Every structure is written in C-alpha cells, then in structure tokens.
Amino acid sequence: MSLLLQSPPSSALSSSSRQKGRLRFLARSATPRFALSFQRSFPQIRASANFSSSLDKGLSTEFDAVSDLSEIVPDTVIFDDFERFPPTAATVSSSLLLGICSLPDTIFRSAVETALADSVCYGLESPDARMSCFFNKALVKVGSDLVKLVPGRVSTEVDARLAYDTHGIIRKVHDLLTLYNEIDVPPERLLFKIPSTWQGIEASRLLESEGIQTHLTFVYSFCQAAAAAQAGASVIQIFVGRVRDWARNHSGDPEIEAALKRGEDPGLALVTKAYNYIHKHGYKSKLMAAAVRNKQDLFSLLGVDYIIAPLKVLESLKESITSPDEKYSFVRRLSPNSAASYSFSEEELVKWDQLNFASSMGPAAVELLAAGLEGYATQAKRVEELFGKIWPPPNV
C-alpha cells in the first residue's frame, strides 16, 4: 500500500496545510521494477452492454457502481481526501517507517519516537535484540494509530528476512501481537503480512489455527494461492500488474504461457483462477487483487473480494458521471456461482505439500518472489540503520 502522509498543525483533516509535510512512498518501490516493453499484447475485457447497469439504482458515478461489486481499497492514505476516498484498511511496514522518519512533523512521528525511547528495549544488552525490540515497538505504535484512523483491519508486515523460517515468523507474530495486546488493540482488527514462501504459508496455517489472522502476500502463481487457501489464510494478495510485466519481458513460464494461449491476460487469469478455486471448494480466504494499473483491470476483476486501486484510477472513476441516455453497464465477473462451474485439473486439486509446491513454482513466481523479498529486506535494513542514527531521540 502506498501512503501519502500529511501532518497538519491541529487536525489530520485540516485543509490549511495541504501543501506542506507531504510524502509519498510506494510499497512496490521495495521491489526492483521490471521495465515495460510491448512485445506482447493482451486482450482487453470490457464491461458488457448486455446487462442492466448498476447506475440504474440511482448511482451517479463509475466509482459508486464498482464499489457495489467489490470492496475498493485506495492504494493511498491521503488525509486531504478522506471524504472522497475514505481508506478502509491500512498496512504498517518498513517502507512506511522510513517515510515517517524522513519527515520531522508527520502525525506518526511521535509514535516512532515513543518506540525508540522505550525503557524495555533500552535495557537490552544485545544490540541486535535492542534494535529488533525498537523495530517491533515502532511497527506496533504506528499500527495502533492506524487502527484509530481506518474502520477495517490493519496489516503489520513481518520481517521478510524470516521468509524461509516458519518458527521465526511465528515468534515474530507472537511478539507483535503481545505488544498490540499491551495497548489494547483488538486482535480482530489485525492482520499479519507474511511472504508466500512455503515456510510462510506453513506459518500462516499454524497461526490461523490459533485464531491469529494472516495476510499472505507476494502471490504470483496458482500453487501459492491454492496452498494459501488450504492453509486458511484470511487474506491472499495477488499482484496483477507484476505478473503482466514479467510476461511482457520474459517467456518460459508454463502457467503464463497457458493463459496467453487462451488469449487471457496472465495477471487477471491468475486472480480469476484463484477466486474460483477458493469459492468452489469453500475456503474461508478473501482474495485481494493488487498492482491494478488502470480502470480496465478493475472492471475485469469486479466481484473479487478486494481491489487495491491507485488514486489516479479512483479519481477517474469518481469523475466519470453517466447521463440518462448513456447507460454504462458493470458486470460482476467473479462470483460464487461462476466459480461452481469452473474446471480444475487433477494436478491443481492436490493437497499441497512442500515438494509439489516447489515443483509447481514457475520462473515468474520464483523471480518475482525473490525480488519482493529482497526489496522488503533492504527496506528493513535501512530502517535499522536509520534507527541507529537517530536513537536515542532528542527528547530522551
């Protein structure tokens, strides 16, 4: 999730300081970007004119219409735009902490300074343990502030350097949850964002069995999505645009090649297949489509549980008003009913284990997962380096 932070002098919603104290930072910047080329083109899927429009119900914009079919999550938290695009959920991450620390007067700055002044962390002899304590405290302090600002759940990033350590992930989540409990943040308001390695998926399974909600990210293949659903992950996040970008610049991934042969966009096809798998087989997981690049992507995914859309797309939807003689139809493309008729191969219906999971990960998923983990790990290191420079805070 990207965040655009503002720190007004008296209120987070104040308009008097809209031009000051702003910072934008993107979660995807933690991952090396893949250059776009247009060696391949993908079919466009348009909303059908053969269905009655959601706007017949009295809705006046495209944004209203699509919001009736999927929960639209803004890919930004802009305090100036709470009324236009109220954020329903948020993520606290290492990239967010970096952004907060780069501004002297954001509304979250005091949360970080309080974390760095924590006496428990200060008393730890080991520098590594002390830094880990500060990092955890900062995530939780900022996360608790976000819980007060959004009506939905706040997802807390788990250190990507633990991605291949199931027990390390579980210990980290327990540590974070304990800190949240100490400041009375209800566990039902929390998710813990874990990379979708096999070890991360196993950690999700064990945590969910304890009633702890998990958010599995960096999903780029069907085997990851299916294994995550079997593990009982609360939220599964697929990056539509990143899969497409890989396909435009590479070849040799069987899953992507199969989608292209069917004339489908591989990113959209992965979301469709994962959604149908989850709903056809009765898994509890909610599916989140991220890296949605334009309105066409969004229209093609209507019906999925969550769509993370960038501000430019939301603004375009909000500004698109239909007239009585210009009906615009919106179709729910994903639904439990359509999932019931979707066919899966025997190989796709296996009980996933580490061996068949590893053998089913194509080159796209392997490369994109590695790039994502590297980016997140780099961000975490930068946070630790920055904390080392500014600790202790000036007021301690």
What pLDDT, in 10s, does the model give residues 151-209? Answer: 999 999 999 999 999 999 999 999 999 999 999 999 999 999 999 999 999 999 999 99
Which residue from 285, 394, 314 is spatially nearest to 74, judged by alpha carbons?
Answer: 314
What does the buried/exposed string (b/e) look like for 58-81 if buried means 16 or more CB atoms within 10 Å of the residue's CB?
ebebbbbbbbebbebbbbbbbbbb
Which residue from 205, 200, 201, 180 is spatially nearest to 190, judged by alpha carbons?
Answer: 180
Q: Is residue 122 part of a domain?
A: yes
* CATH code for the domain of 160: 3.20.20.70
Residue with tokens 């898994």: 283
How many CB atoms sit inside 10 A of residue 395's CB? 8
Which residue from 231, 243, 232 is spatially nearest to 267, judged by alpha carbons?
Answer: 243
Q: Which residues are catalytic?
A: 193
How many CB atoms sit inside 10 A of residue 188's CB? 9
The mean predicted confidence, pLDDT, of the chain is 83
Question: What's the number of domains the chain is made of?
Answer: 1
pLDDT exceeds 90 at position 41: no
What was the pLDDT predicted at 76? 63
What was the pLDDT predicted at 331? 85
pLDDT exceeds 50 at position 15: no
Which residue from 196, 163, 194, 149 is spatially nearest to 176, judged by alpha carbons?
Answer: 194
Distances in whole angstroms, Cα of residue 56 to Cα of each of 50, 99, 340: 14, 43, 28
Q: What residues make up the domain containing 259?
A: 62-390
What was the pLDDT predicted at 48? 37
CA distance 252 to 240: 18
Which residues are CB-contacts of 43 (< 8 A; sequence separation ≥ 6)? 263, 264, 265
Q: Is residue 243 part of a domain?
A: yes
Two tokens, residue 158: 């788990």
SS3 content of the chain, % helix, strand, coil (to 5): 50, 10, 40
Residue range 116-127, pLDDT digits in tens: 999 999 889 998
CA distance 138 to 321: 43
Q: Is residue 219 part of a domain?
A: yes
Q: Is residue 93 part of a domain?
A: yes
CA distance 241 to 175: 33
Two tokens, residue 319: 């500004």
Residue range 301-341, pLDDT digits in tens: 999 999 999 889 989 998 887 544 443 467 899 999 999 99
Phi and psi at residue 157, to the nearest 5° = -70, 135
CA distance 130 to 122: 7
**What percentage of the chain reaches a pLDDT higher than 70?**
79
Which residue from 306, 246, 253, 244 is spatially nearest to 278, judged by alpha carbons?
Answer: 306
What was the pLDDT predicted at 23? 38
Distances in whole angstroms, Cα of residue 390 to Cα of each of 100, 102, 134: 13, 11, 12
Is there a contact between 3 and 99 (Cβ–Cβ < 8 Å)?
Answer: yes
Phi and psi at residue 229, to the nearest 5° = -65, -45
CA distance 214 to 393: 33
Q: What does pTM read for this prediction? A: 0.83
Q: Is 233 helix (H, G, I), strand (E, B) or coil?
A: coil
What was the pLDDT predicted at 4? 40
What was the pLDDT predicted at 26? 35
CA distance 335 to 290: 18
What was the pLDDT predicted at 40? 41
